[in-house]
Amino acid sequence: MRSEPIAARTPEREAFYQHISGGNLAPLWERLHALVTAEPVSPVQPAIWHYREVRPHLMRAGELISAEEATRRVLILENPGLKGQTSITHSLFAGLQLILPGEVAPAHRHTQSALRFIIEGEGAYTAVDGERTTMHPGDFVITPSWTWHDHGNPSSAPMVWLDGLDIPIVRLLDASFAEPGDRAMQAVTRPEGDNEARFANNLLPVDWRPAVKTSPVFNYPYSRSRASLEVMSRNGEPDPCHGHKLRYVNPATGDFAMPTIAAFIQLLPAGFATRPYRSTAATVFVAVEGEGQTRIGDQLFEWQAHDIFVVPSWAPVSHQAAREAVLFSYSDRPVQEKLGLWREQRGNA
């Protein structure tokens, strides 16, 4: 694509620019080419975090600070192109959270929406507005904006999950609010499974109307997601760019499960290689099962179960599975779609 022309610089113009800067003014024509680019230009870099390397640091953090003292014991996955910005892409946060046996991460609420994707352990819970859900590896759990939530681990082993939040989006809009709970664990007002019975079986309470844009289902169990992928793989050919891929949805609307974050699960058959694909939605991937490699631009990343990697906006990406593999991913696609900004390109340019 062609770019806007760049105005020539002259001593007189330089003097003028310096003069008006004291009045908090600047010439757009000097900056337009960097602001309105022919294609997406991002400092976000492709990167991978190998779980086998990160896990010892996470366990060491468990020795140094309690979940209660930290509020949330999380190691941030910070993009190497965004040092100091506490984000994995321009719009998304990612971090690995550890809850040790017997610990509770105290109740609080905030305007930022959060997802949890369970990496390791079984039996810990997340409580959302008075109902607990027990978490298992591969589960996709949602904490909607401004809902009370706490986490606890009554099991005998450490529990680790990936936290994905829209913190940078909320920060961009200066719309952050947060409030601590008045006790570590919120009162349980509904039995576990109540949410699933009401909303997760292709049924809705007869007069229920959604009050928010987030899905009323807050745990999407991996057992169900994996079963759906298995049926897809038996009954149809894989998509050339995605393999067998599903998106998590809000059953009340059919829209994405979260208003600011899209989440997906995909199966790559053994030996399958996807064609190059790119979109404007920078995407965080988690290898759930199997092993393989992903090419992002001109970089090649080898991954196995529990590894996490990030694909920048408009970067060509292709996956190849050494054996059958499952990838979870999340992106800011809902925001881009609602603003009419999202684009994709399938296959080679």
Residue 161 sits in a domain whose CATH number is 2.60.120.10
Do the Cβ atoms of 196 and 203 come closer than 8 Å? no
Domain assignment present for residue 334? The answer is yes
Domain assignment present for residue 154? The answer is yes
Domain assignment present for residue 192? The answer is yes
For residue 94, list its beta bridge partners.
164
Q: What angle do CA 295, 299, 305 make, to 5 degrees?
A: 55
| Structural domain for 290, as ranges | 47-346
d(C-alpha 134, C-alpha 252), whole Å: 23
Within 13 Å, how many C-alpha atoms sit on residue 226's CB side?
12
Domain assignment present for residue 26? The answer is no
Domain assignment present for residue 8? The answer is no
Q: How many domains does the chain have?
A: 1
Q: What's the token pair of residue 129?
A: 């507005």
Q: C-alpha 61: how far from its chain's center?
A: 23
d(C-alpha 344, C-alpha 130), whole Å: 40
Domain assignment present for residue 24? The answer is no
Domain assignment present for residue 16? The answer is no
Give this prediction's pTM: 0.95
Residue 54 neighbours by CB under 8 Å, 6+ apart: 75, 96
d(C-alpha 134, C-alpha 105), whole Å: 15
Q: What is the pLDDT along the chain (349 residues), one digit of tens a residue?
A: 566 678 899 999 999 999 999 999 999 999 998 899 999 999 999 999 999 999 999 999 999 999 999 999 999 999 999 999 999 999 999 999 999 999 999 999 999 999 999 999 999 999 999 999 999 999 999 999 999 999 999 999 999 999 999 999 999 999 999 999 998 899 999 999 999 999 999 999 999 999 889 999 999 999 999 999 999 999 999 999 999 999 999 999 999 999 999 999 999 999 999 999 999 999 999 999 999 999 999 999 999 999 999 999 999 999 999 999 999 999 999 999 999 999 999 986 5
- For residue 117, the tally of other CB atoms under 10 A from its CB is 26
d(C-alpha 107, C-alpha 334), whole Å: 28
Do the Cβ atoms of 81 and 248 come closer than 8 Å? no
Q: How far is CA 194 from CA 88, 151, 202, 314, in A?
A: 34, 18, 14, 41
Do the Cβ atoms of 30 and 7 come closer than 8 Å? yes
Domain assignment present for residue 161? The answer is yes
